[in-house]
Structure 1
């Protein structure tokens, strides 16, 4: 098999996102026949059919679904590589920091730039689903993360831990309490992966029968909208609570819930200058 052409990969992602060759061609500013030929060439290079096309429309095959999963971080890594090379050619020193909602990195960033005049620090907001992905694909040099994560390929430095709270609708029967125990929440519906809250999992009523599907949310805001609508509860680190105060949601301490560990992660596969120094500053 020949090396994968990144241009063809970008064409594939466009078609996969639109599931329509015409609209994808318009977005890419190329003719549809050209796009079709490029996709056929990619399929030949990979030795797999990526799209199933019939009168009803266009759909991804199993091979296409797998390629889409792998293609997006690969393209992001290629773009990050290009940015780093261009900045190096321009003589620009940069350091990029990823951070999760609720986590403040201002103090460490200021301290780093004071130590290194001329250094440009960029900030990238991340979420649960990409907090380490941005490290692997090179979009950031370091990422302030919340555990647990898959540690393979990462250097991880613990920074601090913080308590977690439960988010409930403001009119919930427990909303007026000063604190609750995990057992008080055993009959609630959890709007996040139960594996992230083993204390709740051990007592949860809904897990004694059929395990419910874990909803997929891409932001804290989405989760809180569902909580406010009375569709379930979520557990959040304390700093996220202070960042997202709203009148239709009550936050209560859960003393018997293990705290959330905040850490700094960077690639163990390539040199990351200033990572250790930034970690020292973040701890301080």
Structure 2
């Protein structure tokens, strides 16, 4: 039989991630013997060994590695489907019921905090003016979190920025292309320059370049590890670092900041992105509005 139950995938994923039946059972809130039996039954049904069990512990076979990868994706898809279905039916969050015609459609739009402020304002205003427009909940998120929010269903659509965000697995529409600027303390001598190169930004005495996380790690260097734009803004104002950001980020600059255009930084392209399998009419209306902008 080729069909797998969600329960079986949850059980196997817990064991595969913990590599320990006792910890997996505790995580699932069940006893260990029925969990062991469920995994054995799953292996018999599939006709393959998923786990190697010996005195040293538990390890995944090649088939187990495949099922862990596929199982995670299937569980994420099921969770996302439930979240989006509840939202479409008005059962998730405030403002779900829109009157005698039934529930008013609601979309969650994930955006990087303080990013693309002017574009976002224009998009929301234009969409609100459309007849029958869905209610838009703006979900500010951290650096590069839009992808995860789209995949697990916490968001229906997102503003994403290439080359920083990956658009793999999503449909998207390009909205805006812009350059990048170096943000420095306003009183620093380099802040008076008309332009800078990336090499020059990385070689300013006393101002190490801020480091942003990429795929869970930070690049090497002496600069501070930055987790959000508020932290970056404060450290620049204190004269502790210099940051490289899209030109639209000028909207959040403080009086203590100065922005200098960069001559050789790659352009930043803002996309509106959504799951490739989406068939939401409310989402389609938002995408049409964004494309007109």
2:222: which partner in 1? none
Deviations 1:193-237 (A, max 9, x none): 9xxxxxxxxxxxxxxxxxxxx873399618989xx8xxx998543
2:127: which partner in 1? 112
2:174: which partner in 1? 158
* 1:177 partner SS: helix
> Which among 248, 264, 270 is matched to residue 262 of structure 1?
270
CA RMSD between the two structures: 4.5
Query: How far did 1:48 drift?
Result: 4.2
Determine which structure has more spread, i.e. the larger CA radius of gyration.
2
Q: Which structure 2 residue ranges, 5 or more long, are not aligned?
A: 91-101, 219-224, 236-240
Distance 1:276 1:58 in 2: 47
Query: How far did 1:43 drift?
Result: 3.4
> Normalising by the residue count of structure 2, what TM-score does the alignment of the two structures yield?
0.62
CA contact (8 A) 1:76 1:139 kept: no
> Which among 173, 186, 190 is matched to residue 177 of structure 1?
190
Query: How far did 1:22 drift?
Result: 1.9
Deviations 1:15-72 (A, max 9, x none): 3443332232222221111222222333344444444444444444444444333333
2:246: which partner in 1? 237
Q: Which structure 1 residue ranges, 5 or more long, are not aligned?
A: 194-213
1:31 maps onto 2:40 in alignment: no
CA contact (8 A) 1:167 1:234 kept: yes
* 1:221 partner SS: coil
**Structure 1 stretch displaced more, 75-84 or 63-72:** 63-72
2:83: which partner in 1? 83
Distance 1:275 1:269 in 2: 12
Distance 1:50 1:240 in 2: 49
CA contact (8 A) 2:133 2:282 kept: no
Higher relative contact order, structure no. (Cα contacts within 8 Å, ≥ 6 residues apart):
1
Query: How far did 1:5 drift?
Result: 1.4
Aligned residues: 252
Distance 2:78 2:209 in 1: 41
* 1:79 partner SS: helix
> Normalising by the residue count of structure 1, what TM-score does the alignment of the two structures yield?
0.64
> Which among 159, 167, 170 is matched to residue 144 of structure 1?
159
